[in-house]
Structure 1
């Protein structure tokens, strides 16, 4: 037999076959040759590349979205067979009105999901998925639970709630809801408008958490300076910038809108210059060929003061803008009643303290040369329009609000506010979405006392010997102004805050003093391991809602119930409605959920649809002039607004003379509100905040010669690309690409005798973590980087083997509420202790092979 000729004949005949038949036949032909030419009967190929996955024509396609607190809200397209999602894709242009495959325009860009959203199927069906109510049987943190019925679990929660309320009063239950896992117009878990806030407030027992870990200092700055947090442009405005300064911002990892990179790329193509001010040379700097200016952490306000000095001294400021639109920038813009108080320009020039805040003065503090400070100031002041994007990260520091207020002063003095291509961003919230589908009435957001989020452990451990200024006690609490809350229980909804707040070791001590800890989640997280009761929550694939854009983006995405809830999962709205009926009968139940009856716990479809339809018709269509009916929106899956002009914050204030929503009607560089406080202990801030932006020495930084003897490194903990805070930490697909590690500068590593791949202990007086090392030149000396969000994994000595940097952070109260995640001095040493990375070492990828081993 001529085997070669037989093979040629098979190949020739296969050209007349379809691809699938060809693959079958050639595979069998290879087997026949290997077996010496035996003739075999063709069979279905068992190793076909796309099996056992169904083909597209066998699947149902459903438009939905991401749901998490990641910096955007992108479209996901679920491809399902029966009631199982087998694949996720994203926006390809065809789903919107008049859309066609591939449509992707400047006005209506595709809302494409990132690698986190695209991996969501692995989270939906993960081993850590919480499917049934569970009740703790072991010690807190031990992870020992038994399955319970919904009746038993809710009876236990209701009974404990009644006991704690009657015994300890209306402050006994701490509300720690956040926007981590349930962000839509109906199923909402934030601190203000969320379902848990509404439930506990109506119940009459709620201590709220008033501060936002991501940007509290920034929020304070935006409100005190501009009178609003809506100080952002939509991201298409970046396409018109001639200079973009990424101050502490890495948009490759933490974009603040759906298409940030799309528009920044357009700016780059038109000749825009990019600058990065950051201790790290980031992927964003690489992508845009940015001028990298390494800066010592927590010294940003000093460098900005040096830039302001250069701009004033060289007459590069926009005096016309200052005169028309600012209060307190200089002596001529001070209010009459405060002429004898400090103004910003004279502070910068050193009129009051004989210390000019010159580039040379700033260089000694921030580690940036005076020449580079001058060069950047000259570039920013003379390039029009220029966008100084003051990101949130440098504000997550001791006195972080001063950095953002200093940035606002720079933005104003150069006239880059209210102009296309400029930037006034602190918080950066842009286009306004209609965000609440359920009644938001006098019962919503009732709190009986309110404290700063990360000071709960201090309050619990030291009660009743607690000063109001030590916990950020909000003035005028309904339980009585000045009353210290007697916290005996915590409710977590949409938050893994036990894993994410500062000073985790302090939290561990405090949680063991509580009588009730309830965790609503779809995944068993580190917070869940410390709970008494775990209540399984349906994911956004398993409930009906509408997705909002994040702080930027102008669109709505329909989010249908793609599949039925797994296990015995319920929505948060179902859980709180049922608890309301148990605690207060029909009166409480109907007040909390007016459209529902008691059977809502068993079937929520009609009620949820009624809320969403009313919201669409009475808010979106009525207020935002949308003509698309609800039924059509459901069918298409997305509505993208086409704006008449790019959304630029404060454009009408500058062009039409509208007042800013501040007491003075102007941009308040000098805050009249701050200047008139006479007793700071009776404010939520507790400690004095200067009326103008200033450099204030932080309690830990590399300029502290005494503290750096023991702890010579400054640790920062930026947001990673492969997690949204702690969400997605358990997804193997993502952990294959990145490890939890400490990044060390090459010169520091040489002195320490460590190299990439070594295991080290990063430690200070508050805690210790074990992580592998990554050595690089892309980080300034003296600084360490450990990405936030790793799930804690403590050994018998309380050392975190997984590498969560919040074992080392401090919960010290910072004026204006800044969370000092990046104000951390520490040390580093080699160790024989093992890193316990979970998926890191189980992953199949070997991305570290391609890193240079320094």
Structure 2
């Protein structure tokens, strides 16, 4: 390892500027050139002139391209781009606070030495479980430069790390459904009705949480063609009727002419139980399927009818909870029973207190509906998300992953608990996990200060580790809260290949432009660190980045040849810019659930009973009071029917944005142009705005006991009264008092698990109040880089050479005392 004072020698040579074939990047001429690329929201041609990107044009074959892409390139040259390695000044001196310090620009040799030494110190003194490997995987659509694959491969080879399990999007579903219907975490997405089935056979789609078109923009790996909304319209054209059960009318496309059921947020389970009550009491329930193909029907029926607890879950009972008239509930139940019906469960309805319950109750409702296991009917998950239910799935090779020697993985949404309470235990899916003492957080890909809840609490938790290391291209909150910031190239600045889930085009991602001078890829950073730590050959396997891209393509080619799919050789693929795969036809026969319906003994599903478990003895055996062994109504910690609504009388819906992917490219054109007064827009019903003296376009303050943020008011009757909608993803921009100036809803949301079963996130359980911000609201500073200094503190003052490997950080000062 190089001495601390040695001049920088590490260099990251850029990929070669020329490409074989028709597509060429020439950084000296002004020739217009075109090169293919893919983002998670679609396939584009990158138009360059003289090595500079001048436009991103959607693939002409895409019938419904996302508006996000055209503004992406400007972010690569934005003033908030990070172009040099940075070290937090307070980390060097053993003082200061993450998120509020200046940064010191250092040379690559220095940054890599500091990073390698700190990794080695932590794993040697505290064990590899003290290293948390953070990544959320959305940093690139490419399979080689997928940041999650890169960091996990590197840390596993370095001896292991504490990993995470499940996702913020689907945690409750991923854990509860395997107990109920068997299979993997996304078994319902894979086995639910496809859109071709729905067009041919369905008559009614009842969607809890809607089918918002904005969510159809993106998939991991990127879609070459956006066809989700076209399939929805085709279903409507075929006579399928839609019901949108959501507090937001815009959660379905206007062309679907959906019936809007403006439910009170977080009460979907109560509505589902009442629908089951109507089916049972009016002799409309498919009791044959429920008895033959399910277990626990009698116990579930007794609960719904009130035999067990004296409380019938009837339409009147649910009307008081959901704010939906009892007559409308009965009518909807009768419509479900009378038609081939899809019960679609959007991802959003699980991100709330007791989020396992609406998914379990949705399965029960489908089981009684008469459509479970019949073509074009039964339960579905996430219809409307990207290309779900559109076509079959091909897979593409990924960067090989060695086993991680450290276990167990911690639930992803419990990261603040893990950091704040080392040694504490967390109940999770029948296990009891002990929180490790995390001393170092290493993050590459994703932004925890976007997707985590209660950001004030997360910011406090973020002060606990000794060191936080981040790979990042821009000065977002993740970088601002780090100690060592290693700048990396963006997808337009590197080579890769991509295939979107349920897509039929493998795209060659050509390097369209050079990154800023001496800015490497994630892979090159990890390779340089692996060299310092002694496993570079094992990490790179002796391959260059281009050779890795070729290797992954050839592995994919070999894999698909076994399915009689003939792909061109790599040279032809790279020159052409893409390779086409055949369509994988979606079934039209109801799939595995149809086989279950026909003969449950001959065709069991992968549950302990081989049947749909309306009651799970396994889950009941865990003894969790917040998630018993069958679907029940459990009152949320915060909702409009709670006592807390007197102080905070509005329910916050923090949904996915239309103009960016999560928080990515918040400063780019599509997101920037959608702002109101430079802030994230918040939708309010005109009646709620009028009662508070708020006009359209006003800057407002949204607040509760956890935090507050500023946003731009947008009045609309497309949200039900009592509800405000503030999309996620505005870059976190707190002032000295913690007020977020930009409109990030996660300063308001609740950081608690869905239940002891899944420990998923609960942003949908949030009450707030909204008021005018008053004159001269604080200006947004989210896109201004932090203060940067060019000289490290004097060696005699901070002594990084003698204490850097054992310094403290944040609130606990120098040394390792905590």
Common topology (TM > 0.5): yes
Asked if the contact 1:736/1:839 (under 8 Å) is kept, the reply is no
Deviation at 1:82, TM superposition (A): 4.2
> Which residue of the partner structure matches residue 94 of structure 2?
none
CA distance in 2, matches of 1:362, 1:373: 8
1:744-755 aligned within 5 A: 744-755=684-695
Matched residue SS, 2:285: coil
User: Structure 1 222/425 Cα, relative in aligned 2: closer, same or farther at 3 Å?
Assistant: farther
User: Structure 1 626/361 Cα, relative in aligned 2: closer, same or farther at 3 Å?
Assistant: farther
Matched residue SS, 2:249: coil
Matched, 1:239 2:196: no
Asked if the contact 1:438/1:611 (under 8 Å) is kept, the reply is no
Structure 1: stretches of 5+ with no match in the other structure: 1-53, 68-72, 94-109, 332-342, 476-480, 681-686, 841-854
Deviation at 1:485, TM superposition (A): 0.4
> Which residue of the partner structure matches residue 519 of structure 1?
470
Give 2:145's match in structure 1, choosing from 153, 162, 187.
187
> Which residue of the partner structure matches residue 48 of structure 1?
none
> Which residue of the partner structure matches residue 354 of structure 2?
399
Deviation at 1:483, TM superposition (A): 4.0
Aligned length: 720
Give 2:772's match in structure 1, choosing from 814, 823, 830.
830
Structure 2: stretches of 5+ with no match in the other structure: 1-26, 91-96, 220-225, 784-818
> Which residue of the partner structure matches residue 414 of structure 2?
455
Deviation at 1:572, TM superposition (A): 2.1
Give 2:512's match in structure 1, choosing from 551, 554, 562.
562
CA distance in 2, matches of 1:635, 1:325: 53
Deviation at 1:288, TM superposition (A): 2.1
Deviation at 1:205, TM superposition (A): 4.2
Q: Deviations over 1:542-569 (max 9, x none)?
A: 222222324x444433323333433323
CA distance in 1, matches of 2:57, 2:699: 38
> Which residue of the partner structure matches residue 737 of structure 1?
674
Matched residue SS, 2:118: helix
Asked if the contact 2:421/2:435 (under 8 Å) is kept, the reply is no
Asked if the contact 1:307/1:377 (under 8 Å) is kept, the reply is yes
Matched residue SS, 1:62: strand
Asked if the contact 2:497/2:553 (under 8 Å) is kept, the reply is no
Deviation at 1:306, TM superposition (A): 0.9
CA distance in 1, matches of 2:438, 2:51: 43
Matched residue SS, 2:128: coil
Matched, 1:805 2:745: yes
Give 2:98's match in structure 1, choosing from 118, 123, 140.
140
User: Structure 1 80/446 Cα, relative in aligned 2: closer, same or farther at 3 Å?
Assistant: farther
Give 2:486's match in structure 1, choosing from 527, 535, 538.
535
1:2-401 aligned within 5 A: 58-67=31-40, 73-93=41-61, 110=62, 112-137=64-89, 139-142=97-100, 144-190=102-148, 194-227=149-182, 228=184, 229-232=186-189, 233-240=193-200, 241-255=202-216, 258-282=226-250, 284-328=252-296, 330-331=297-298, 343-384=299-340, 386-401=341-356
Matched, 1:776 2:776: no
1:652-671 aligned within 5 A: 652-655=592-595, 658-671=603-616
Matched residue SS, 1:254: helix
Q: Deviations over 1:572-630 (max 9, x none)?
A: 222223222211x2xx223333243xxx5xxx22x223322332223233356344444
CA distance in 1, matches of 2:617, 2:581: 38
> Which residue of the partner structure matches residue 410 of structure 1?
365
Q: Deviations over 1:468-492 (max 9, x none)?
A: 33xx5994xxxxx854300112111
Give 1:439's match in structure 2, choosing from 392, 395, 400.
400
Deviation at 1:116, TM superposition (A): 1.0
Matched, 1:817 2:759: yes
Deviation at 1:235, TM superposition (A): 4.5
Matched residue SS, 1:425: strand
> Which residue of the partner structure matches residue 767 of structure 1?
707
Asked if the contact 1:197/1:446 (under 8 Å) is kept, the reply is no
User: Structure 1 391/473 Cα, relative in aligned 2: closer, same or farther at 3 Å?
Assistant: closer
Asked if the contact 2:244/2:251 (under 8 Å) is kept, the reply is no
Give 1:796's match in structure 2, choosing from 726, 731, 736.
736
CA distance in 1, matches of 2:132, 2:480: 18
User: Structure 1 316/590 Cα, relative in aligned 2: closer, same or farther at 3 Å?
Assistant: farther
> Which residue of the partner structure matches residue 715 of structure 1?
652
Matched residue SS, 2:74: helix
CA distance in 1, matches of 2:264, 2:199: 30
CA distance in 1, matches of 2:199, 2:72: 31
Which structure would you say has the larger Rg? 1
> Which residue of the partner structure matches residue 638 of structure 2?
700
CA distance in 2, matches of 1:838, 1:316: 58
User: Structure 1 424/571 Cα, relative in aligned 2: closer, same or farther at 3 Å?
Assistant: farther
Deviation at 1:772, TM superposition (A): 2.5
Q: Deviations over 1:101-150 (max 9, x none)?
A: xxxxxxxxx47530112322222332222233222225422363233222
Matched residue SS, 2:302: helix
* Worse-matched range after superposition: 264-273 or 612-621: 612-621
C-alpha RMSD of the superposition: 2.8
Asked if the contact 2:241/2:258 (under 8 Å) is kept, the reply is yes
Asked if the contact 1:449/1:474 (under 8 Å) is kept, the reply is no
Matched residue SS, 1:676: helix
Q: Deviations over 1:733-777 (max 9, x none)?
A: 432134312222222222222222232221111111122222222
CA distance in 1, matches of 2:317, 2:610: 34
Asked if the contact 2:67/2:670 (under 8 Å) is kept, the reply is no
User: Structure 1 126/321 Cα, relative in aligned 2: closer, same or farther at 3 Å?
Assistant: farther
Matched residue SS, 1:167: helix
Asked if the contact 1:556/1:638 (under 8 Å) is kept, the reply is yes
CA distance in 1, matches of 2:367, 2:36: 42
Asked if the contact 1:231/1:650 (under 8 Å) is kept, the reply is no
User: Structure 1 653/390 Cα, relative in aligned 2: closer, same or farther at 3 Å?
Assistant: closer
Deviation at 1:837, TM superposition (A): 4.5
TM superposition score normalised by structure 1? 0.79
CA distance in 2, matches of 1:741, 1:835: 16
Q: Deviations over 1:678-700 (max 9, x none)?
A: 6x6xxxxxx65222111111111
> Which residue of the partner structure matches residue 788 of structure 2?
none
* Worse-matched range after superposition: 540-549 or 228-237: 228-237
> Which residue of the partner structure matches residue 336 of structure 1?
none
User: Structure 1 132/214 Cα, relative in aligned 2: closer, same or farther at 3 Å?
Assistant: same
Matched residue SS, 1:282: helix
> Which residue of the partner structure matches residue 38 of structure 1?
none
* Worse-matched range after superposition: 524-533 or 312-321: 312-321
Asked if the contact 2:144/2:549 (under 8 Å) is kept, the reply is no
Matched residue SS, 2:147: coil
Asked if the contact 2:467/2:483 (under 8 Å) is kept, the reply is yes
> Which residue of the partner structure matches residue 591 of structure 1?
538
